[in-house]
Structure formats: C-alpha cells, structure tokens
Amino acid sequence: MKVALDVMGGDRAPSVNILGAMDALRYYPKLKHLFLVGDQAQIMAEANLQGFNLSDSRVSIVHAAEAIGMAEPGAKSVRKKKQSSINLAMDLVKEGTADAFVSAGNTGAVVASATLKLRTIPGVDRAGIASALPNEFGLCHILDAGANPEAKPEHLVAYAVMGTAFAKGVLNVQRPKVGLMSNGEEDEKGTAFTKETFKLLKNTPGIHFVGNVEGSDLFETELDVVLCDGFVGNVMLKTIEATAKAVSKWLKTEIKENPLRIAGAMLAQGAFKALKEKSSYETYGGSPLLGVNGVVIIAHGSSSSLAIRNAIRVGLESVESQVNPHIERALAGIASAQA
C-alpha cells in the first residue's frame, strides 16, 4: 500500500512529519511506498537532521512549491494555491498513484481539496470526519467532528450509514450502535434540526439507531457512532481534549504538594501511563474523512511524530479493509430499500 503524506501540514511541520514517516516505515511492513509531499529543500534538510535515509526505495519526495497555513481560509487557499502540498498529495490519490492521503494540516483545506478532487461517493452530499473517542466499552466515533458545520438532517443520516459501515468494516463491530447527540435522551428533546434528524434515523434501514444521547453517554454508554453537525462535534471534541489536559495538569500539581502522594504516584506509574495512552489522541493518530472517493486521514494540528505514525496506520487499515466499498454497498442497499 502507498501513502501520500503532507509533510508541510501541522503546527510542528515538517519535523514531526519526518519523524513520523521514519517510524511508519519501520513499524508497518505493509507500507510499500511513502510519498513525502512538500518543499524539497526543507524535507531534505530535516531528513538529514533526523538521519532519515532518503535513498530508501520505499520513499520518494514530491516537491510542492506552496503550503497552506493553519490559519488560512480552507476552500479559498485550495483554489489559490494549486501547487500546495495538500493539493499535490491529494492528486496522488486521485490519480491512483497513492492509496491514502494523510495530513495534520489545515482541516478546511483538506476537506475542500478532497471534495473537489476526489468527489463524494454516490449518495453522499457532504463528507464527515469520524473522530475516535475511548470509552468504557472500546471506541466511539464522533461524526461529524468538523467537516460540515452547517449540516442538514439528511447529511446526518448519511453519516449514520457511513459510520456503521466504518465500524463494521474497519473495527469489526458486528452491530454498531448509533446515537444522536441532543440535550436529553427523551425522543421529544432537541432542536428542530435534531428532531427532524431523529425521525429520519428511525426510518432508515440498515442502522441500529438507539435514539438521543447526552454528553455523559460518550463515556458511560456502549455506543459506536455519535451523530452531530460539524460545529457541535468540533466544539465537543476540543472541549473534551482541553478537559483531559486540565485534569492531568491539576492531578500533577496536587501530587507534587505532598511527599506521600509522590510516593503513591510512583507506585501507580504504570496505571498513569496506561491511562495517558488510552486518552491521548496520539494513540488514535488521525480521523478518516468519510464520504469521499478515496482514503483521507486528517490528523490533529498539534500532532506529534507518534500521532503521525498512527495516522499513517489508520490510513493503511482503511485501505486494507476497503472502507469505501463497504460504504458504497450500504448506501446502495438503503437507496434500493427506500425505492
């Protein structure tokens, strides 16, 4: 399998991307070729600094004269900067040269480039980002986590179908449970938007819709997919990440206040390490952009090299499990049933 990596994307590019690429080549033998897309001079300089052997037959550089910054407007920048690393890496997937695209860059630009170049799967109007969230039962995916902030009820129905297909095909969940984020579990709760979405989901074949869910259900209830528009999903995800960081910081401060606590923390070091790994976005790497004709993985903007490595892993898993054919069959089956 071949992956196109946007080396210029992310807050700490290109260094973490180069380190992540090195690790991916070391850990994943199924990665047959890695395209490093970005400014050639910067890539070569960073690779030399990190001891990355660019003469490896599994690696090649694709020069990109432009880069889209994290603060730039996504869609406008994609159209303006045609030679950006995001666009050229996406072209490799469009042409079939690469099997998957990975970037920690500007999310809006990645979504716009994927939509313009790869187009959406038949039956999908808007693509959605599926972000993993660990809970007591395994992994729950928030869909959409930021691609479509002004979604319509029918968009969330498509997300339910795609999320179900992803959970079945990639995560091997036999009967994925789908919930709709609302301000209460009762059927009548929510806005006009969520109420209309609820009605549509209840009548959609092929999904296991369990009804409305609340914030606490993300961690305490067995759920595989939680639906919401991209605005709510993005705010929710960032709030969860910020809360986790704050609690970790407070815990460290409290432990340091007392020698006995420090001793106790030393004894519980293994538990703290396991908890950190389970709750860190680095462990899950990147989020698939579901609904486009290709495998597109969006990593966190502040990704570390470990997160980049794992984002490449998610891309390989998505290609290997043929997630898009799963989605296409699911959508075709629902269209046929409704007809």
Confidence of residue 143 (pLDDT cuts 50, 70, 90): very high
The domain limits of the chain are 1-124+291-322, 125-282
Instruction: Name the percent of the chain lying above pLDDT 90.
Output: 67
Confidence of residue 279 (pLDDT cuts 50, 70, 90): low
Start-end of H helices in the chain? 15-27, 40-50, 74-80, 85-95, 107-118, 153-169, 192-202, 217-220, 230-256, 259-267, 269-279, 281-284, 305-320, 323-338
Question: pLDDT at residue 272 above 70?
Answer: no
Q: Could you name the CATH architecture of 1-124+291-322?
A: 3-Layer(aba) Sandwich (3.40)
What's the confidence (pLDDT) of residue 112?
A: 96
With tokens 């993985």, the residue in question is: 297
Cβ neighbours around 199 below 10 Å, total: 12
pLDDT digits (tens, 9 = 90+) for 145-169: 999 999 999 999 999 999 999 999 8
Q: Which residues contact 99 (CB under 8 A, 6 or more apart)?
A: 1, 2, 3, 93, 295, 315, 319
Question: pLDDT at residue 101 above 90?
Answer: yes
Classify residue 121 by its DSSP letter: P
pLDDT digits (tens, 9 = 90+) for 204-258: 988 999 999 998 898 889 999 999 999 999 999 888 888 877 887 887 888 888 8
Looking at per-residue pLDDT, the higher value among 270 and 311 belongs to 311
pLDDT digits (tens, 9 = 90+) for 50-84: 999 898 899 999 999 999 999 999 899 999 999 99
Say if 1-124+291-322 and 125-282 have the same CATH topology. yes
Classify residue 105 by its DSSP letter: S
The third-level CATH classification (topology) of the domain covering 125-282 is: Isopropylmalate Dehydrogenase (3.40.718)
Gap between the Cα atoms of 299 and 285, Å rounded:
6
Element housing 32 (H / E) = none
Q: Global pTM? A: 0.90
Assigned token pair, 304:
């570390």
What's the confidence (pLDDT) of residue 85?
A: 98
- Looking at the DSSP bridge assignments, the partners of residue 35 are 4, 60
* Average pLDDT taken over every residue of the chain: 91
